[in-house]
Amino acid sequence: MRVGICDYPSAYAFPPYGYGGIERWLWATAVGASRCGAEVHLIGPQWRADLPGMWARLPLRLEEIRPGSAAFRYLNALSLDLLVVGHEYPSLPAWRDTWRELGCDVVTFQHDPDFRHAADAFDGQRSRLFCYSAEMVERYRICKPYQAVSVQFGLNEETVPPAQNGHDLVWLGRLDGQKAPHLAACAAAKLGQRLRIIGTPVRDSRYTEAYRELTNAPHVELVGEVVGSEKLQFLSNASVFVYTSARDYVEAGAATFGEALRCGTPVAALAWRPGTCAENALCDQTGSIAFADPELDDDAAAELLAEAIRRAQELPAVTVQEIGLTRFDPAVHFSTLAARP
């Protein structure tokens, strides 16, 4: 199989130097395709120049070329079977014109809960959309979506360290109200345990000020943004990965579940309703989900989360990693994406 993995105009490189969910998903998919024996072409100008030399690169964007042009003839000569793209492209007219002429399949993963697609962007056969959770499948039902977990990682995060029974708690994500790390800090305080918060720079100053007392408490360490092998070591050294979100936030991509489980770290997740990413990512052998009524206050919700952390800490790291490496295997993920129903 010949596969094109397309970048897109972004603030990040591909794969990103730091965080960037869709960019990391495209890289993990490229790695998975390669492990499946596919001939992989990285299409677009934003693929990093420091990638290993094994990767074939074509610095063109489909939406910038036209059928019949020299660039199109060059691309068409590759005889691609599949294009893997960011979720915006199948609804972009100029991109679709070129894709139709190439005659290959296209797949993407919905990593934005609010993006509106063209009515005919997906037919469920030649053009396919994947969603992580039951609620995302329902949200995009007009697009005939398929459900699957998303596998994401950055450069030098492809191979994880052996499982170990770690210590302390870890939280990873954006430091803002949608991700609600203060709930993890509150739960850790109830348990008398240390929490390491790994995350991108603060983007929500009002949120930061509102919960400064919790996130700056003595039991909380604000690590900042870490990537590559350093991030994997933080995850591997943790006893539990704590997942939180705001009551009304719809998680679309949820990279952190796979990252933690692949490192052998069980997950304690707070969910405000059924059908979220946590239910598709976790099982009784890999983590625990605290279901909280959205009417509960933060303190009561954190109490439920603390109990989920206690349950998750009883899970053996070796078992968690075995399941995580299977459930979030990039080759398995690519095979799921590539298989036409």
Band (16; pLDDT cuts 50, 70, 90)? very high
Q: Where are the domains of the chain?
A: 2-148, 169-325
Residue 296 has pLDDT above 90, yes or no: yes
* Residues 6+ positions from 184 with CB-CB distance below 8 Å: 169, 171, 195, 197, 242, 244, 305
Output the pLDDT for position 341. 86
Mean pLDDT of 314-324: 98
Q: What is the pLDDT of residues 162-171, one digit of tens each?
A: 999 899 999 9
Q: Quick one: three-class SS letters along the chain?
A: CEEEEECCCCCCCECCCCCCHHHHHHHHHHHHHHHCCCEEEEECCCECCCCCCCCEEECCCHHHCCCCCHHHHHHHCCCCCEEEECCCHHHCHHHHHHHHHHCCEEEEECCCCCCCCCCCCCCCCCEEEEECCHHHHHHCHHHCCEECCCCCCCCCCCCCCCCCCCCCEEEEEECCCCCCHHHHHHHHHHHCCCEEEEEECCCCHHHHHHCHHHHCCCCEEEEECCCHHHHHHHHHCCCEEEECCCCCCCCCCCHHHHHHHHCCCCEEEEECCCCCHHHHHCCCCCEEEEECCCCCCHHHHHHHHHHHHHHHCCCCHHHHHHHHHHHCCHHHHHHHHHCCC
Architecture of domain 169-325 in this structure: 3-Layer(aba) Sandwich (3.40)
The answer, yes or no, to whether residue 216 has pLDDT greater than 90, is no
Mean pLDDT of 69-85: 94
Is 2-148's fold the same as 169-325's? yes
The pLDDT confidence band at residue 201, using thresholds 50, 70 and 90, is: low
Q: Alpha-carbon distance 143 to 158, whole Å?
A: 31
The strand pair at 56-58 and 82-85 is best described as: unpaired
Average pLDDT, the chain: 95
Q: Region 110-127: what's the mean pLDDT?
A: 95
- The sheet carrying 39-43 orders its strands as 56-58, 39-43, 2-6, 82-85, 105-109, 127-131, 146-147
Closest CA to 108 of 257, 191, 4, 192: 4
Q: What is the pLDDT at residue 256?
A: 95
What is the pLDDT, as a whole number, of residue 202? 64
The percent of residues above 90 in pLDDT, for the chain, comes to 84
Q: Taking residues 35-47, what's their average pLDDT?
A: 97
pLDDT at 302: 98
According to the model, what pLDDT value does residue 187 have? 98
Q: For the ranges 25-34, 127-136, 173-182, 280-289, which has the lowest average pLDDT?
A: 173-182
What pTM value is reported for the model?
A: 0.95
pLDDT in tens, 79-115: 999 999 999 999 999 899 899 999 999 999 999 999 9
**Whole-number pLDDT of residue 116:** 94
298-312 vs 181-191: helix crossing angle, rounded to 10:
70
pLDDT (mean) for 65-90? 92
pLDDT tens digits, one per residue of 220-234: 999 999 999 999 999
- Considering the segment(s) 2-148 as one domain, its CATH architecture is 3-Layer(aba) Sandwich (3.40)
